[in-house]
Structure 1
Amino acid sequence: MTALEKPRVISKEMSLVPDEFRRQLARLAERLTLAVEREQNRYHLTGPDSLRVCIDLEQLPPRRIASISLPVMQVRIEFLDATSEQFAEFKHCFDLYFRKGGG
């Protein structure tokens, strides 16, 4: 296992509301065996082999397209302590659990 050289940060603008984020995060945490602690809009995740991740949420004004209004949330994921392998697995699973269908 290779340690990350420095904390890595992923920042995403996502179309979801806080309740939806919490539900999906719970499913992700179960899949990756993560403990989750919440402080308002910040989540602290800890997992096996010293994995530590911090997620900050910021609700932004809705995006309006014609008569449609979509929620917008800025999501910042900081990997405080993770190997390269843990980073890759978390990122892959996060994208799977938070992907929205379209077409």
Structure 2
Amino acid sequence: MNRHLEHTAFLLGLSVDPQAKDISHLLAFTCQPERHDELLTLANEVMVKRLAKGISEQELNEYQQNVQRSLDIQQRSVQQLANTIVNSLIQYDDPAAWTEQEQLLKTNDGREC
């Protein structure tokens, strides 16, 4: 195997638990295995500096807006799926399919119809 193609992957993320008033950071990167220790040390230094600085109100607001945007997109997607299913059922006039499609909507939406 070509050594230049070998990589180690790491993830990056931020999660907020509003009930616990807790914010978690996860730093991630992809690197060649021989650079792992060096880059992990640098990543830890970045995290320590970032945690010492804290999260600004603006950053928290931006994060909350991004989460809300994602939820809105997901909800529109579920609504589009529901509309597509209803239009298909109307077009093909197959009442037996309603039960099956209702179950599909429950599964995708996570709520009762």
TM over 0.5: no
Q: When you count strand as a share of all residues, which structure comes out higher? A: 1
Q: Which entry has the higher C-alpha Rg, 1 or 2?
A: 2
Asked which structure has the greater RCO (Cα within 8 Å, sep 6+), the reply is 1
Q: TM-score, normalised by structure 1?
A: 0.32
Q: When you count helix as a share of all residues, which structure comes out higher? A: 2
